Structure 1
Amino acid sequence: MIAYIKGIVADITDQSVILEANGVGYEIICPNPYRFQSHIGQEDKVFTYHYVREDTQMLYGFQNTDEKDLFANILNVSGIGPKGALAVLATTTVQDFVVAIEQENEKFLTSFPGVGKKTARQMILDLKGKLSASQDLLTSQENQGDAEEESTALLEAIEALKALGYSNKEVNQIKPQLSAEHLDETDVYIRKGLALLMK
């Protein structure tokens, strides 16, 4: 298996990047070759998937390992070949695709060329919970949502304390302590803030 090729981007076509490494020009089929347009004449690294069948051998290339891993996973779905997997990666991000699979968003999946409802269901069946990035991604989104909720609650509490007559200086002095509490309700922050201010 060829994990990646590092070389000079010699040329770009509608379907591939020509990467020259040690005097050899590798034709690498990419979801969107023009992503490498700005690197023509420069050294770059392309992460590759070596596709081997009885009648063909092809190199498929990606900008990062997340794209490469997703391509490999999509190939495992019954009824989808390299062309279909490339079409997915050419028109969406790894993050958006993972979210669509985890949320069973058939409408999103059927927007890809050649993907009907039956294939979308097969994708969900074969890939849900199995994509390497899925758990980390969803956990990150949940944490981001919690942080936003916490931040809003804290800001509301700060404004409420100022409205009660405390100065900016007084409120700012206790703000780090309030922030460290990681609370999710404004009124709890206010009570905690009042306790600190009255010490």
Structure 2
Amino acid sequence: MITYLKGLITEKNPTFAVVEANGVGYKVMISLQTYTAIQNLAEGKLFTTHIVREDAELLYGFFEDRERSLFNLLIGVSGVGPSTAILALSAMTVSELESAIIQGNESIVKSIKGIGAKTAGRIILEIRDKISKTEEGHSEISMSSKNTLKEEALTALISLGFVRSVSEKAIQKSMSEAGNDQSLEMLIKSALKYL
């Protein structure tokens, strides 16, 4: 199984990316969240799930391991295939979707294209506890956009292979120079200058 791909991102599209690793180009299906994260990157790392079907072999890629974990939980639910799981992860952030599932908010879950009331109920029933357990390893969702922005940028830099402590310092320098009103993309770009 292919756990991740690291290399040049030679093609980017809202539904897929091509990652060149050791001279081989891998077409990887992605969510809009991942597309937004890799949009301005020339190279990077995508965590992957390899799905083998009778008629095809598909790679699904994610900028964050947390997004991949939620994707794998979703496709484990009867009635939710990889395409529906990618649509769900494109429709909202991982935190928003996890929050809706943990709170049992069926209306939010069934608002995703391809998910009806029965499937939404199954998703909540089957993976709520699993998400709660994995959430223990993650920090609580912060109400402060400053902290969320900082955490997302840190996750992105760690995903790119940089050391956590060095990344934190680079983000702090970037935030002190440019202020807190910058976008995630701008914060990551400016932090990369210090690495």
Q: Is TM > 0.5 for Structure 1 vs Structure 2?
A: yes
TM-fit CA distance, 1:34: 3.3
Kindly report the root-mean-square deviation, in angstroms, between the aligned alpha carbons of the 2 structures.
1.9
Indicate the residue corresponding to 1:157 in structure 2. Answer: none
- What is the CA deviation profile of residues 43-76 of structure 1, one whole-angstrom value per residue up to 9, with x for unaligned ones? 2111111011222210000001000000000000
TM-fit CA distance, 1:92: 1.1
- What is the CA deviation profile of residues 111-139 of structure 1, one whole-angstrom value per residue up to 9, with x for unaligned ones? 100111111101111111112533455x8
CA contact (8 A) 2:14 2:31 kept: no
% identical equivalent positions = 38
TM-fit CA distance, 1:37: 1.8
In 1: Cα distance, 2:16 partner to 2:54 partner: 22
User: Structure 1 residue 59 and structure 2 residue 59: aligned?
Assistant: yes
Pair member with larger Rg: 1
Indicate the residue corresponding to 2:29 in structure 1. Answer: 29
User: Which structure has more RCO (C-alpha within 8 Å, separation ≥ 6)?
Assistant: 2
- What is the CA deviation profile of residues 93-151 of structure 1, one whole-angstrom value per residue up to 9, with x for unaligned ones? 111111111111011101100111111101111111112533455x835x98xxxxxxx
- What is the CA deviation profile of residues 11-39 of structure 1, one whole-angstrom value per residue up to 9, with x for unaligned ones? 12342101111111110000126322201
User: Structure 1 residue 87 and structure 2 residue 76: aligned?
Assistant: no
CA contact (8 A) 2:14 2:30 kept: no
Q: Give ranges in structure 1 of 5+ residues lacking alignment.
A: 145-199
CA contact (8 A) 1:49 1:68 kept: yes
Q: Is the partner of 2:28 in helix, strand or coil? A: strand
Alignment of 1:1-199 (within 5 A): 1-32=1-32, 34-35=35-36, 36-39=38-41, 42-131=42-131, 132-136=133-137, 140=140
Q: Give ranges in structure 2 of 5+ residues lacking alignment.
A: 144-195
Q: Is the partner of 1:129 in helix, strand or coil? A: helix
CA contact (8 A) 1:99 1:134 kept: no
Indicate the residue corresponding to 1:192 in structure 2. Answer: none
In 2: Cα distance, 1:121 partner to 1:62 partner: 25
CA contact (8 A) 1:129 1:135 kept: no
Q: Is the partner of 1:113 in helix, strand or coil? A: coil
